Amino acid sequence: MPHLRLLLFVFFLLVVAFVALADTPSQTTPYWAFCINPVTPTPAKPDDNPRRVPNSSAVFTTAQTQDLFNPPDWHPPDHPPMPEIVVHGRKPDVYACGYCHLPNGMGRPENSSLAGLSADYIIHQMTDFRSGARKSSEPRHLPVANMISRETKATNQEIAAAAEYFSKLERKIWIRIVETSTVPKTHVAGWMLVADTPAATEPIGQRIIEMPEDLERTELRDDASGFVAYVPEGSLKRGKWLVTGGGDGKMSPCAKCHGPGLRGSGNVPPIAGRSPSYIVRQLFDMKSGARSGALSLQMRRQVVKLSIDDMIAIAAFVSSLKP
Ligand code: HEC
Ligand code: HEC
């Protein structure tokens, strides 16, 4: 019965194809929120020239500013003393928390601000990263991969010390939100968007373009130099409608759980004034199921109906609020 066998085989192929398609995420990750560094042949060796930044008497070489176990602290008077795990990490596995999240905890678009999150919430997220309940929809995103594979090797005591430290830091205005139709042309470098040289412009389209206010200071990891995020025209108004009104029943108004002004309430984290790239990443990850810890299931119901355009509007508005 060769025909029957052939028929069965074709049927089998169809089933395999169907399962594969059903497994494929319906939307690909927006590149501007999940920035992936291009593969460079060999990165340039950092030089030994002394470097300075405004309003600091500190001097570091470029190489020192890139030390994952001893990141530069340009403004020690601006924050309390850092616990060992934040300032040095623990060799060989755990990088200093302050390298990526910065000594003042304000973070960068490719990671997250931790300043002023509750210590319980921080510990809870570390548990989710460790158990695999919190992943990224984009496995090639090295900063998140490092957060998961290295930082969760910190002991519970070290995590408690880091959580205590970051929870005490002040949340401040760190990202300037600008509605516009035209943006600087950018490319990905250092896991974030940076302006092309020579400078050029292009239409924003449906994207958020978050980039350093001053690339040189950001590259030196100066935690007194923040970011600007360009958002499409009309996003703030549409975002406000979605966030405060629930967008005609698409979801609940966010303040119901995130508190007045979205500044957090109990274990529900503050989201006002935080990075719009980070916010889009989280909404996307919660929708895709990559972030699926027990507490995030409350968010699942909020994000199921959201399109990328909705997420852009929501993130633009939330980031523009006073932290
Ligand atoms: C290699 C860079 C890197 C280092 C070092 C690092 N993190 Fe992170 N961290 C990240 C990234 C990237 C994210 C954002 C994950 C995402 O976008 O989903 C993150 C997110 C977090 C979050 C979630 C914040 C939120 O609002 O939910 C916590 C908590 C956190 N990190 C704690 C720590 C602690 C504690 C340390 C030190 C033990 C540390 N991190 C060190 C890269 C890093
Ligand atoms: C029913 C309660 C509830 C509502 C309503 C809600 N959230 Fe949340 N949200 C949570 C909880 C709980 C968490 C923490 C999830 C976790 O621990 O993983 C969270 C986390 C988040 C995060 C991740 C923050 C971080 O630090 O990583 C973002 C972004 C967010 N919510 C945005 C929103 C927006 C925007 C809305 C309105 C559209 C909204 N939420 C409505 C309960 C809610």
Q: What is the pLDDT along the chain (323 residues), one digit of tens a residue?
A: 456 565 555 555 444 444 444 444 446 999 999 999 998 878 788 888 999 999 999 999 999 999 999 999 999 999 999 999 999 999 999 999 999 999 999 999 999 999 999 999 999 999 999 999 999 999 999 999 999 999 999 999 999 999 999 999 999 999 999 999 999 999 999 999 999 999 999 999 999 999 999 999 999 999 999 999 999 999 999 999 999 998 888 889 999 999 999 999 998 999 999 999 999 999 999 999 999 999 999 999 999 999 999 999 999 999 999 99
- Does residue 98's CB lie within 6 angstroms of at least one atom of ligand 1? no
Residue 115 Cβ < 6 Å to ligand 2: no
Assess whether the C-beta atom of 133 lies below 6 angstroms from ligand 2. Answer: no
How far is the centre of ligand 1, averaged over its atoms, from the C-alpha of 315 (Å)? 19
Q: Which ligand is nearest to the CA of 280?
A: 2
Q: In angstroms, what is the span from residue 139 Cα to ligand 2's centroid?
A: 22
**pLDDT at residue 2, as a whole number:** 53
The answer to whether residues 316 and 236 touch, using CB atoms and an 8 Å cutoff, is: yes
CB atoms < 10 A from the CB of 70, how many?
14
pLDDT, residue 20, reads 45
Is 254 near ligand 2, meaning CB less than 6 Å away? yes
Do the Cβ atoms of 188 and 35 come closer than 8 Å?
A: yes
How far, CA to CA in Å, does 60 sit from each of 71, 73, 228?
10, 9, 26
Of 171, 271, 292, 308, the one to substitute when testing ligand 2's pocket (max ligand atoms within 8 A of C-beta) is: 271
Q: Which atom of ligand 2 is nearest to the CA of 283?
A: 29
The residue nearest atom 17 of ligand 2, judged by CA position, is 295
pLDDT at 75: 98
Provide the token pair at 252.
């609940």
Q: Which ligand is nearest to the CA of 156?
A: 1
109 burial (CB, 10 Å; 0-12 / 13-18 / 19+) is: buried
How many angstroms is it from 112 CA to the middle of ligand 1?
A: 6
276 lines ligand 2 (CB under 6 A): no
Mutation pick for ligand 1 pocket among 66, 90, 112 (CB with most ligand atoms within 8 Å)? 112
Dist. CA 13 → ligand 1 center (Å): 42
What's the 56 CA to ligand 1 centre distance in angstroms? Answer: 26
Quote the ligand 1 centre to 89 CA distance (angstroms).
13
**Is the C-beta atom of 269 inside 6 A of ligand 2?**
yes
Nearest to 179 by CA among 106, 242, 237: 237
Give the pLDDT score at 261.
97
Separation between Cα atoms, residue 205 and residue 188, nearest integer Å: 17
